[in-house]
């Protein structure tokens, strides 16, 4: 990190939150490099952006340049993997953990993970246990700053249709006043802005391991 500038790698830059975070970083004058590992090019032309063709195999991480901040905003769905839990784990777990290991080995200052509300490695359904296991492994690394974001329903326009989330996006905002704050839906853009704010910590020589939930200190 040179002066007040910082660099970022985003795994999942084409996703609901990732694409908003990408735009926030483009607009931030202190961010001088946005590295994006991608299976398919996003074709975003900007001097800050470096797209890296990537199949997300563990041996490929050496092709990436070290950055001050690493963000994992990748997630899949049961529909995409046709209910195969091993395939689900390969995406949600393996990419997040391998990215954290690479970040640790390259001197990354801060790692951000989009997890899920209720993440717990010791209980819950497959999804909740898996998210908890991922968090646990990432918190075991020596990366100085780690922030795990635990949003509930994310509001925004996705590239693919998720019918259950679509119904939730219609109903939950109407019922939000009746729901405990941490379970209330949040706009993907709002979460991206909070993530952007947390990145300011990477300029400080402090160690911190945080779990963010809606309603706590932002």
SS3 assignment for 10-76 = EECCCCHHHHHHHHHHHHCCCEEEEEEEECCCCCCCCCCEEEEECCCCHHHHHHCCCCCEEEECCCC
Separation CA 137–CA 139 (nearest Å): 5
Asked whether residue 184 carries a pLDDT value surpassing 80, the answer given is: yes
Least confident of 107-111, 176-180, 185-189: 176-180
* Tokens (6 digits) for 111: 């790692």
What is the reported pLDDT for 177? Answer: 60
Separation CA 134–CA 100 (nearest Å): 10
Domains, the chain? 6-212 (3.40.50.720)
Least confident of 19-33, 164-178, 187-201: 164-178
**pTM, whole model, 2 decimals?**
0.89
């Amino acid at each position: 990190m040179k002066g007040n500038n910082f660099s970022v790698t985003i795994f999942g830059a084409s996703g609901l939150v990732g694409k908003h975070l990408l735009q926030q970083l483009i607009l931030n004058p202190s961010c001088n490099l946005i590295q994006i590992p991608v299976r398919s090019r996003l074709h975003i032309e900007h001097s800050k952006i470096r797209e890296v063709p990537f199949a997300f195999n563990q041996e490929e991480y050496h092709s990436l340049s070290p950055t001050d901040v690493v963000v994992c905003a990748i997630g899949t769905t049961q529909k995409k993997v046709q209910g195969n839990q091993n395939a689900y784990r390969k995406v949600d777990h393996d990419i997040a953990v391998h990215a954290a290991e690479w970040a640790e080995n390259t001197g990354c200052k801060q790692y951000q993970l989009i997890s899920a509300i209720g993440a717990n490695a010791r209980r819950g359904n497959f999804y909740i246990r898996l998210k908890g296991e991922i968090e646990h492994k990432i918190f075991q690394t020596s990366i100085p700053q780690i922030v795990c974001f635990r949003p509930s329903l994310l509001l925004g326009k996705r590239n693919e249709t998720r019918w259950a989330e679509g119904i939730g996006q219609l109903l939950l905002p109407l019922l939000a006043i009746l729901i405990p704050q941490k379970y209330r839906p949040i706009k993907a853009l709002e979460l991206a802005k909070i993530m952007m704010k947390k990145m300011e910590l990477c300029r400080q020589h402090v160690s911190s391991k945080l779990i963010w939930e809606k309603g706590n200190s932002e």
